Structures are given as structure tokens and as C-alpha cells.
Structure 1
Amino acid sequence: MKGLIFKTKPLTPVELVHHIRQLLTYTCPNPDVRETKRQDKVRELNRLIHEMKIVLYGDEMSEPHADACAKLTQEFFKEDILRLLIVYLPNLDPGSRQDITHVIANLQRQRVHGHYVAAEYLEANTDLLDMLIPGYDDPETAISYGAILKDCIRHQVVAKYILESDHMKTFFRYQHDPNFDISSDAASTFKELLTRHKSTVAEYLNTNYDWFFGEYNALLESSNYITRRNAIMLLGAMLLDRSNTAVMVRYVSSLDNMRILMNLLRDSNKTIQLQAFHVFKLFPANQNKPQDIVNVLVANRSKLLRFFSDFTFDKPDEQFEADKAQVMNEIASLVPKCQTCDSLKQCDGTNC
């Protein structure tokens, strides 16, 4: 009976946010605060972070309530809690970090009165992205910061800001990182950045084509198998997207690019070979192939046709076989240009 009388009243969403704000400072050691008290406060903070997650997702006892979610969303961004969580994230235990990434993911999707509060907040606080991206430098927190960043990129204003910043150069560096977790997660975020908001990405790639693909080809030629695999898979996704048609035509008009793809066709990994084929097939299919590409394809015609005739996979795939047949037909029908008379037909030399 006594326990029922003095049972703690659940905090409202607004109170929950305010309490979390007050408790976050206790995650840092403080000589003015007794350590046992600080640890008690940190435990309370962990509990309230988990309670915030329950408000948004529900649990086995209850479903999330729309009004509570809306109030929590408004108060969370009004009180600048995202900034504080980014700052104090390294001080929290792995369980609370995971809860935080789930909370932030949910809040990105919450609409209040028809508006994405998170998008409006991030547009006004783009400096938070400058804090999130360097989170990849710490292996212990890289995955948590990466998860938060990917959820923020769902908003076009965030993607546009990152694309137009120097952070793009940093993403290339992270994908070369020897730490598997960092390079893989950075590649995942990079993919989200370059595939979600199609019109923004198309404009960016057209404007920054030269330096971007110069850096990108270095990923394709990386000595690291995972880096090459991630890069060739994303390249196919970008070039085969209709919104990037102009970029695709430009890419497949480069002999240097084709040589890289031809090397990837010989990769020891079957997945990389297959993904490379899906990009390589665009070169012979290009109806306006530059003459240097035609000449290389003709010079290597026998080798290429022999390679593709043996190019098979364990699992039958009708579309792959059809695409391969088309590529072989395109290569077989190519006619070299006479270097002397500039004729596209076979030249017997009499008119040169």
C-alpha cells in the first residue's frame, strides 16, 4: 500500500526533456561533485533517455501517443537537446548511445502541424553537422555519430549543406581509413548522401564532376577489397539513375574511366566483377563513343569477346545473359577509324 501511495508520477514529455538537459552535465567528472552522486545522476540520465525512447516507440505495455510524441519533438529541438547529445555522446555508455540514435532517428520523421521540426531546426543549426562528421575520427563513437548523421541526411537541406561543403573531401578520406568499422560506415553515409535527394545530387555532380570523379576513381582502384566493392556498387547506382543521365554520358565518354572498369572486370571477387560489368556495359552501349574508346575496344576485341564468353556465374540470370550478349554484339560490330584518311569504314589505303 505504501509503495502505491508514493509511486513516482511519470514525467511529462516536456519535463523529460528538461530533466535530461540538466543531467547531461553530470556525464563529465567534476571535482565539485561527489563521484557517487555523479554516478547516481548518470544512471538516472540513462533511465530517462530510455524513457524518451519509449515515449516515441512504445513498449510491450503501450503504444506511442501522437500528442506526447509531438510535445516531445517540439521541446527536444526548442531546448537544443540534439546539440547537447552530440557534445556529451562520448561520455555515455554504449546502451544509452544506442537509445539516443533510435530517439534521434524517430524525431527526424516526426511532423508537428504538418512540418518536420527536425528539418527546420537543422537548417538553422548547420554547425551541428560540422560537429557530427568529425565523429568518424574516434573509433569508439564513429558508428553512433554515423547513425545520427544518416538520419539527418533524410532532409534535403542537410544533404545540400554537406554536398556543398569541404566535408565531401573528408568522406573520401574516411573511406580509405584502415579501420573497417569507420570506412564501412562512412561509405554507407556517403551512399545515403549521393542517392537520396536525386535533383540535388545531379546538380552537385554536374557542377563538381572533375574533382569528384578524380577522387572517386581512387576508391575504385583501392587495394582494399571492401572499399572497391562499396565504390563500384555506388557508382552503378549513381550512373544508372535517370536523374544522372548527363553525368553518366560524361563518365562513359572517358577512356581513363573505361580502363578502370576493364581492370575491375578482372577482379578476383565475383561481386566486384558483376558490378563492374553493369557499369562497363554503358561504354560500348554509348551511341556517341569517342574514337579513342572505339579504338581501344577494337584493339582488345578478341580478348574481350573471349572474356565475356567465359564470363558466367553460378546462379543463372536471364537479364545478365541478355546484357552480356548485347555488349558482345556492340563490340563485335565496331569499325575502327582509319588514322590517315579519317574514314569510319575499313580503308584499303587507295584514297589516303
Structure 2
Amino acid sequence: MSLREFVIKVPCTSSNIGPGFDVLGLSLSLYLKLHVSVDPSKTGQREPVLSYAGQGAKEAPLNPYQNLITRVALYVLRVNKIAQFPAGVTIHVDNDIPFGRGLGSSGAAVVAGIFLGNALGQLDIPRARLLDYALMIERHPDNVTAALVGGFVGSYLRELSPKDTATTQVPLSEVLPEYPHNASASWGTEPPVPPFGIGHFIRYGWAPEIKVIAIVPHFEVLTAEARSVLPKQYASQDVVFNLQRLSVLTAALARSPPDANLIYQAMQDKIHQPYRKHLIPGLARILASVMPTSHPGLLGICLSGAGPTILALATQDMEQIADTICAEFAKEDITCDVKFLDVTQDGATVEE
């Protein structure tokens, strides 16, 4: 067998998008890339050799049995009766997605790992089936669906049979077990096979005039912490508030030219942002002060995922909008990076 080389490219994502908590996902032009080579002649190299550049390079584990991307890849291989990595795998990761900032870094890593396992095993698993693999690991569909298929998407988890439900609720520690350093072909139990059709999705339209500004503060908000502050029950009027705006927003963002007042009002939320304000200094002030009347060209503003990144949708005056939000964070002694992004339509790709 000859040397194989390929590149896996996964976009970052934003989820929730105002009222669309755990429903809406948006694929954006900031990428996690894997440059992979497989040299079968290196029969003595049984474990992938990893290197990293870019965001998180100092924190990312280089042990393939501890790194999330390669652990996910091994899960895909083992489900398909391939017990270990092929010989001579070298992976260089080039990552532009900040960790722990609400831009889908973990979802991108999961999707990259699934594509890596599919490519290393030459399995030719269809993209729709790959979503099932992703949802065995990342139990919320919004980020992984957007990273997988691209564009502006809505997604949900299907009600499954009791047997399939039990499979999807297998603890993550059993889906991605703590592999020993000397993991071998004979180690471990059989991994749980993903049921078919765990999640479904739909792609919405996106007006070409709408651009995305991501204001990324220099601190992290852990997803587990951001979820822990949410209430267990909601008032019915708050649920209806979000449902009304969600139904309008998905149509409004597809219309050209965009209606700034309609989109701004439809991006309001009462399900997650009010409860996360204290985790992100200055958030309440930012959401209340940056609006179409004060910043022409602005369409809407919201938390990206669990935060702390702020997502602003706009058609013009992008730098002025970004400067205003950064200035509000500066009042809290918080510095930010600003990224001007486009909505990508391709999702994750593999190029030989």
C-alpha cells in the first residue's frame, strides 16, 4: 500500500442564536484542520503521532489515547470492527477555534474525530450516519449538526425505542473509555453501536447580506457551569416568548434585504441568557445598549453558545459595532479578540 495524505477541515459553530436554545446552529468561517498522512511502511509505528499549532496548542494532549479527536476516531474504528489505528499515522492539527468560548470547539473536535476514523478505516460512512456517531458523544445536536452539514440549521433528538434510548444514554466514559497507555487490539469491551436516526435536522436559508461578528473575550465559561445555572422549570409565558420569536427568526434571516427591526426583536431570549448574565461581566449592558437604532447596520445580538463570545449579525459598520462591544468589556477590564466571519455552507470536508 502507498502513502496516503488528506486534510480534514471542520468549521467552528455558534449555537442557540437568540431564542433557539439547544435548537439552532450556525457554521462559521473559522476552522479546525487536520493534516493527516498514513504510511503503511512504518509497521513499527502503531500509535498516531500528534502535533498541534494554533489555539489550545499548549493544552491539547498529544497522547492519542487521551486526545479527544483521536479517541473519537478510535471509537468509529472499533464500532466497525477495526480494533486499532493503522500503522504509520501522523496528524498535525492546526486550530483557529478558541477553547471554551462558545464557538463549538468541542463539537468541531468530535466531528473531526469522526471524519478521521471514517477516513483511516476507509469506511465510506454516509454523512447522515456520521451524525449518529457524533450524537453518541456530543449529546446536544446544535453544534455538531452545524459543523457536520454547514449553514444555518435547526435540529432535534428523535424519540427512540427503549432499547435505542438506553444505548444513547450509555455514559460517555463507556463510549470513549480511558484507554491505557499501552492500549492494544485486544483491550476493552465492545463499544456501543449508535442507533440509526438519533437526530434530525433542517437547513434554513441565510440572506447573503448578513455577516457575523464574533467578539471573543479573554476568559472561558465552562459549558457544564453554564448549564448548571439554568432553572429546571420555566414559566409558560417565557417558553411561549421564545417559541414565538424562534418561528419568526428562522424565516427573517433568510429574507433579502434583511429587516433589522424584525430580526432584532426576534433574537430576544428568556430561556438561557438572563440566567447566564452573571457569568459574563457586562453582558446585560451590552445586550441592552447595542441595537439597530444606536448602530445602523446591526441586525441582532446574542450570546454564542454558552458564551462568553458575543455574536452580532450585521450588514454594515462592522468595525464600529465591534468597537462598541469591546469597549463595554473593557469597562470590566476584559480584553477581546474580534473575528469578522461568514456563514459557511459546506460543513466538514475531507480532501485527499
TM-score, structure 2 length as denominator? Answer: 0.20
Higher relative contact order (CA 8 A, sep 6+): 2
TM-score, structure 1 length as denominator? Answer: 0.20
Structure with greater strand share of residues:
2
Structure with greater helix share of residues:
1
